[in-house]
Chain A
Amino acid sequence: MEKTITARTGNEAMAEAMRQINPDVCAAYPITPATEIMQIFAGFVNDGKVKTNLITVESEHSAMSACIGSAAAGARTMTATSSQGLALMHEILFIASGIRLPIVMADVNRALSAPINIHCDHSDTMAERDSGWIQIFSENTQEAYDSMLQANRIAEHKDVQTPVMVTTDGFIISHGMERLEMYPDAEVQKFVGEYKAQYTVLDTDHPITVGSLVLTDYYLEYKKAQHEAMKTAKRVILEVGKEFGKTFGKEYGLIETYKTDDADFIIVVMGSTAGTTKAAIEELRQEGIKAGLLKIRVFRPFPAEEIAAVLSKAKAVAVLDRCESMSNQAGPVAVEVKSGLYDAGVKVPLASYIYGLGGREIYIEDLKNVYRELKNISEGKSKPEQAKYIGLKE
C-alpha cells in the first residue's frame, strides 16, 4: 500500500480522517481548539469532496442533539468539540450512549472553566468518563488519525452499538505540526466499510419508538445491556486494532507499554505526555535507572486487568493525571488504576501526581524527577504521596 508522508496538525489529521470516512451527516459548533476540524471539513463539503450533510447548529448541545436525530435515522454521524462544548453536550452524551447510537466524535482535550483557559488538560474528557462513551486518547497526530479510522468500526459493531470519542491534547497535538502517514482513500473506505443501521426511524414501514420512558421495571436491565456492550467493546477494540495493524502496519491495543519488561519504576499516563515520558526514560536508562511507561490508550472501557498485569512487576509506580477531581485522594486515572490493582491483588507502592492543568508545560526533567522519587520510595527514603502537583509555582 502506498502511504503518503505528509506534515499535518492534529486538527488537520482529524479532518482528513473524516474526509476519508465520508460520513452521511456532521453536526458541529466551533470551539477552540477544535474549531479547525469542522472548518477544514466544511471546505471538503463545499468543494464536493465528501457527500456529508454538514449541519451547522447553534450550540454544542444542539450538535449532539442533531447527531442523535441523525444516528437514529440510520446515518453515519460524526462531530467534533472540546472543553465547554463537551460539557454543554453532557446531558445529551448519556442519551446518545443510552439509546445506543454509534456516533463518533473528535474531542480536543482542553481545561474547563473557571478560570477560563483554552489550553490542554483532560478535565473535559474526564468529566464525561461515566457518560457511557468509549474514550480513546492519542499520544500524537498519527495515533489520532489512526484511532479515528478505527472508531466507526468499534462504535457500529452490532455487539457494541456505543458512541466513541477520540481525543487529542489541545494545542499540543491539535495545533502541533507532525509527520503523518496517510493511507489511500480507497483503502480507508474499504477498512471502515459501509454502515447499515439495524433499526432506523426512517423505516416508516416498520415504525419504531426510540427514547421511551423506561421506569423501575426495565431501567436496570437497560443499563445492564449497556454494561455488557462496554465489556464486549474491549474485545472489539482489540480486534479492530489488530486488523488495522494487518491493513495499515501499526497495531493498536488498549494500552501501550514502553520498556516495562525489566522496569523497576513505571509511569502511567495518557495522551501527549506519553511521548515526553519516553524521552525521559531514554535519558534515565543512560543513568542506569530502569524506567518504563504504561500509556493508557483506551480509558473507557478501562483496561484494569491489563494494567495490573504490567504494574505487578514494578518496584514503584506513579500515575499522572492531567485532571483534578477534587476528591482529596488522587486524579481519576490514579483512582481507577488503584482500584484495578486492588482487584488483581497487586500491592505496589503508588504515588499519584497532578500535572499540566490549563496547559502548564511538562518537561522531560519533571518526569525524570518523578522516576527519581519512585526510586526513593522503593528504597524506603520517602513515602508515596497522593495528588502531588508537578511544576507548581512556589
Chain B
Amino acid sequence: MSSPKQAAAVENKLNGGHRACAGCGFPIAIKEVLSSCKDPIVVVSATGCLEVTTTIYPYSAWKVPFLHNAFENAGATCSGVEGAYQSLKKQGKITKNIKFVAFGGDGGTYDIGLQSLSGAMERGHDMLYVCNNNEAYMNTGVQRSSATPKGTSTTTSPAGKVINGKQQNPKDLTEIMVAHNIPYVAQTTVGMWPDATKKFEKAFSITGAKFVNIYAPCIPGWGYDNSQTIKISKLVADTCMFPIYEVENGKYKINYKPSTKLPITEFYKTQTRFKALLKDEAAIASIQAYYDAKWARLLLMEEATNKA
C-alpha cells in the first residue's frame, strides 16, 4: 500500500503528455497498478481510450513494454506473452522475474472480450487483468455496455420520451471472475489510492490469474466537472453500488463499509447521465432495492466464507 505522496516520489512509468482528458479516471488506475509492481512489468491493452490516447504513433507515453492487439482479446494476448515468458524462462533464455498486466475497459472486458478473459483466467496464466470500468463504451462515444447501471442515459440507451435510459441492471462481472476460482479477485475505485495499491500489490504477490475491477470515472461520458473524479469515485463506495471488496482463495472481505450508507440518488445527483432517471421515483426505488439486496448478499458472502 502506498499513499499518492509516496507514489509521486517513484518514477512515473506512464509519461505525462498523453491525450486522455484532464481528470480522467484510467490514468490514475494505471499509475496505481504500475507503482504497485516492484518487478519489471509488461503491459497488454485492449483497444479503447487507454490505448488510443497513449500510443499515437510516432509517440508513446509508455516507459514499460506495451502491446496492443485488438479490442476483444487482451486476455488471450496477455496469455500468449506470459506463455512465451514461461517457455523462454524454462529454457534459461530469460532469467529475470517479469509481471504481466492486461488492461481493458468495461466494453473490452464485460462484453466483447469476456470469452478471451474467461479463457485466460481458466488457464491460470500468471497475469493480472485490470478492468478500467467506466460503465459504458466511452472511446466510441458513450454507448451502453453490460456494465452500465440501469436507468443510465447513454447514446444507445438515451433518456427518451417513452424509454428512460438503459433498462437492465449491470452484469456482475466480478462475481463471474470469482466463479472462475482464481486466487484473487477484487473491486476497488481509483479514488481510494491506498485500497487500490494495496490490492494491486497483493495481486502481484500472488502466482496465477488475478482480476481487479477498478471503478474509473469518465468525465464526458458521465457529465461532471473534471475536478470531481476522485470525489465521485469515492462517493460510489459510500452508496455500496460498487462495493469495495476482495475475494482471496474464495474468502470474501469487504474492505470498505461506509459508516453511513448513502442513498444512490446522492451519487446520481453528481452526474448528468442520471438526470432523467432522477425524475423517476419508481425506477429509483426499484434500483435502490436491487443494490440493497446485492449489498446484503455480499455481507452474507463475507460471513459465510469466513466461518471457521
Contacts and interface: CB of A to CB of B under 8 A. Distances in A.
Given A65-B77, A204-B96, A53 B119 contact: no
B70 interface: yes
Interface size classification for chain A: 35 or more
A102 to B, nearest CB: 13
Contacts, number: 168
B289 to A, nearest CB: 36
A58 B118 contact: yes
Contacts of B86: 53
Given A69-B76, A75-B84, A212-B55, A201 B42 contact: yes
Interface string A64-85: 0111111111110100000000
A301 to B, nearest CB: 25
Contacts of A62: 73, 75-76, 79, 115-116, 119
Interface string B72-90: 1101111111111111101
A209 B66 contact: yes
B14 to A, nearest CB: 12
Contacts of B85: 73, 202
Interface stretch (A32-40, A213-221, A326-334): A213-221
B94 interface: yes
Contact of B80 (A52, A65, A95): A65
B123 A204 contact: no
Given A25-B80, A65-B116, A213 B55 contact: yes
B68 A212 contact: yes
Nearest to B53: A213
B277 interface: no
Given A55-B79, A61-B76, A70-B81, A204 B87 contact: no
A55 B123 contact: yes
Nearest to A63: B76
A207 B81 contact: no
A24 interface: yes
B87 A75 contact: yes
A64 to B, nearest CB: 8
B161 interface: no
A321 to B, nearest CB: 31
B40 interface: yes
A71 B81 CA distance: 8
B160 interface: no
Contact of A202 (B42, B51, B58): B42
A65 B73 contact: yes
Contact of A24 (B41, B57, B73, B91): B91
B65 A204 contact: yes
Contact of B116 (A61, A77, A95): A61
A215 B40 contact: no
User: Which of B57, B82, B122 counts the most A-chain CB atoms under 10 A from its CB?
Assistant: B57
Contact of B84 (A59, A70, A218): A70
A51 interface: yes
B69 interface: yes
A215 to B, nearest CB: 7
B88 A75 contact: yes
A83 B84 CA distance: 26
A380 interface: no
B84 A25 contact: yes
B65 A207 contact: yes
Contacts of B67: 69, 72, 201, 210-211
A309 B21 CA distance: 59
A201 B20 CA distance: 24
A310 interface: no
A27 B80 contact: yes
A302 to B, nearest CB: 27
27 contacts: A24-B87, A27-B76, A51-B91, A53-B84, A55-B83, A55-B123, A57-B79, A58-B115, A59-B115, A61-B116, A62-B76, A65-B116, A68-B77, A69-B81, A69-B83, A71-B80, A75-B83, A75-B84, A77-B80, A200-B65, A207-B66, A209-B66, A210-B66, A212-B57, A212-B58, A215-B56, A215-B57
Interface of A: 24-25, 27, 51-53, 55-59, 61-63, 65-75, 77, 91-92, 95, 200-205, 207-215, 218
